[in-house]
A and B are shown apart, each in its own frame.
Chain A
């Protein structure tokens, strides 16, 4: 079974820009996998940030953006803020009508 890969951790300075990536062990991630991104703070339910590669969910600030970079899906935060410190998860929709979730990236803002 394929595995979704994410950086275990990342740090960014306040006001800085960071790009988190989402890869697939079996090959390249494309828009055909409908990549989506979720933010989770400790003890909270995940919140949808991005779907269908680059569509921001309702109420999500425009400093969050999604894209395909090379062979991976990417989540970019431009102008990071302290409350962006969270875990970020990528999900891919597979042609077999199954879903794959990445292990998550712990983002530190300092």
Chain B
């Protein structure tokens, strides 16, 4: 059973950078073309918002509304995915989920991390 283990601070000050890491339990992270790896967030009491996806050996794709502030990177040697959100405000307060999207003609989120609660506050 694949596991996505998230880590990172739960409190970030306004205007600073939110940084989260997701460690994948299997070598599938480097299987080019089969999977996207990405992030989804959920503000308190609200719905899910897709942040972005990347796949190793390919491109990175972002939600247009967040694109100017977000960076998603992958490190196959560490089996890790990272998320950075710059210049955060209170509206970035959310539960952040690391996700795997299965491509292979199916295109759905088949694995989710445990979620990280991030609060933006001074």
Q: Of B48, B64, B108, B113, which one neighbours A104 at CB under 8 angstroms?
A: B48
Question: A103 — which chain B residues lie within 8 A by C-beta?
Answer: 46-47
Number of A-B pairs, beta carbon distance below 8 Å: 68
From B53, B97, B105, give the contact of A99 (CB < 8 A): B53
Query: Given the complex, which residues of B lie within 8 Å of A34, measured CB to CB?
Result: 106-108
A80-107 to B contact mask, C-beta < 8 Å, 1/0: 0000000101010100111111111000
A45-B97, A45-B112 are known contacts. Are A101 and B106 too (CB-CB below 8 A)?
no
Bound together, the chains give a CA A105 to CA B51 distance in angstroms of 20
Q: Which size bracket describes the interface of B in this complex?
A: 20 to 34
In the assembled complex, which residues on chain A have CB atoms less than 8 Å from the CB atom of B110?
Answer: 48, 51, 57
Contact of B108 among A45, A91, A98 (CB under 8 A): A91
The minimal Cβ–Cβ distance linking A1 to chain B, given in whole angstroms, is 5
Complex alpha-carbon distance, A40 and B97, angstroms? 13
Within 41-94 of B, Cβ neighbours of A (below 8 Å) are at 46-50, 53, 59, 61-65
**Total count of chain A residues near the partner, CB < 8 A:** 25
Chain B residues with CB below 8 A from A46, complex form: 48, 97, 109, 112
Chain B residue nearest in CB terms to A101 = B48
Q: Is the CB of A97 within 8 A of B61?
A: yes
Residue A21 lies at the interface, judged by CB distance under 8 Å to chain B: no
Would you list 19 pairs from A and B whose C-beta atoms are within 8 A, ordered by A residue? A1-B65, A34-B108, A45-B113, A45-B114, A46-B97, A46-B109, A48-B110, A51-B107, A52-B106, A52-B108, A87-B47, A89-B48, A91-B50, A93-B107, A93-B108, A98-B62, A99-B107, A101-B40, A103-B47
Extra 7 A-B pairs, beta carbons < 8 Å, given A46-B109, A52-B108:
A40-B48, A89-B47, A98-B62, A99-B50, A101-B47, A101-B48, A102-B47
